[in-house]
Structure 1
Amino acid sequence: MKLIFLNGPPGSGKSTLARRYADDHPPALALDVDRIRAMLGGWRAAPGEAGSLAREIALAAARTHLAAGHDVVVPQLVARPGLPERLAALARECGASFHEVVLLPGPEETFRRFAARGESEIETAGPLTETQLRQAYERVAAYAAERSASVIPAGSPEETYRALLTSLT
């Protein structure tokens, strides 16, 4: 049983990869914290509070799914301590292996992917500028350098998925 944390900047493919893993490993749970946050009424008016609540809900859902003996994949942009440590502790508590993976396909590829995906109802404050995307990319890259995470660079979706599976062995 695995708890997989997929980190990366917007547009790096976290949610797509999580969904692919869940589809290929049923009944794995692709647990998207941003989608949970978007289900909370008025989340845009109080994004900090909504984000905290969404993380707590996600941790409870992950605990339930792991306790049932199933894998959980959490795609989430994280550039500061907190959530990864809580996920690692949850994995230990449930007897699951913890895998922290950072997707860093390169700034230009990340921008291209982000632009191609279109608008989303779960974005925090509307469209991001290229400067904001670059800053997010740099924050995640710096954070990843401090962690013992597996880093997956640029590649096709199939190559990225294979690299994820390899990192889990």
Structure 2
Amino acid sequence: MPRLIVLNGPPASGKSSLARRYVSDHPLALCLDIDVVRSLLGGWLDRSDAAGSAARTLALAMARTHLEAGHDVAVPQFLARPQLAEQLESLALEVHSTFVEIVVDLDPEQMLERFARRTAERERIEHRDAADLLGRNDGLRDLVDMRQRMMAMLAGRPRARWVTSREGDLDGTYRDVLALVEAASARS
């Protein structure tokens, strides 16, 4: 049975790295990074709300197509509102797939340090764009607020499972994620 794996977490928690790792270990699995999809839309920084909505719509259609073909989909996405998580969960049920919601968390101080390092390097386009978007306001305060909004939303998502992002130990964090995916698959 294909799996729809949502990796939620604050910025710089390692969601995208974990999703890419999962995909590299699972042939034909899709890393569906909605931030990347959004960055493919022209002028998205100037129309971030409309671009975000369009990217989510596209991502749901892509996930449906890939799951129906029998392949896993990993979605690394910061979620602070329940709507997309609920849509992804409903989609998984509709197409008879296992839904796994994992929160990759780290403490706020680590989050700020990692985000500062990541945006200074800006090796990936979504990191540059995120830094630019957050840089328009008080970026560090925005990050702390984002994490608080995510935590409040997750209070209403009791089936979400948690892993701690280990500094310098992507392999260990990945093993924790795999264990949760396998446990969810065994329950399905």
* Common fold: TM-score over 0.5: yes
Q: Which residue of 2 aligns with 1:133?
A: 143
Q: Which moved further from structure 2: 35-44 or 133-142?
A: 133-142
Q: Which residue of 2 aligns with 1:150?
A: 161
Tell me the TM-score normalized by structure 1. 0.94
Residue 122 of structure 1 aligns with an amino acid whose one-letter code is D
Q: Which residue of 2 aligns with 1:76?
A: 77
CA–CA distance in structure 1, aligned partners of residues 65 and 129 of structure 2 = 24
CA–CA distance in structure 2, aligned partners of residues 142 and 159 of structure 1 = 27
CA–CA distance in structure 1, aligned partners of residues 139 and 49 of structure 2 = 21
Q: Which residue of 2 aligns with 1:161?
A: 174
Residues 1:66 and 2:72 aligned together: no
Q: Which moved further from structure 2: 21-30 or 106-115?
A: 106-115
Q: Matched residue pairs, number?
A: 169
Post-superposition Cα deviations, 1:110-139, rounded to whole Å, max 9, x if no partner, equal 122212212324316143622111111222
SS in 2 for 1:82: helix
Deviation at 1:141, TM superposition (A): 2.0
Q: Which residue of 1 aligns with 2:186?
A: none
Percent identical across equivalent pairs? 46
Q: Which moved further from structure 2: 12-21 or 139-148?
A: 139-148
SS in 2 for 1:40: coil
CA contact (8 A) 1:109 1:154 kept: no
CA–CA distance in structure 1, aligned partners of residues 47 and 85 of structure 2 = 23
Post-superposition Cα deviations, 1:4-23, rounded to whole Å, max 9, x if no partner, equal 01111111111111100000
Q: Which residue of 2 aligns with 1:42?
A: 43
CA contact (8 A) 1:104 1:141 kept: no
CA–CA distance in structure 2, aligned partners of residues 16 and 83 of structure 1 = 21
Tell me the TM-score normalized by structure 2. 0.85
Deviation at 1:47, TM superposition (A): 0.8
Gap runs ≥5 in structure 2 = 184-188
Aligned pairs for 1:86-97 (under 5 A) are 86-97=87-98
CA–CA distance in structure 2, aligned partners of residues 30 and 90 of structure 1 = 17
CA contact (8 A) 1:29 1:72 kept: yes
Moved over 4 A (4+): none
Residue 80 of structure 2 aligns with an amino acid whose one-letter code is A
Q: Which moved further from structure 2: 141-150 or 71-80?
A: 141-150
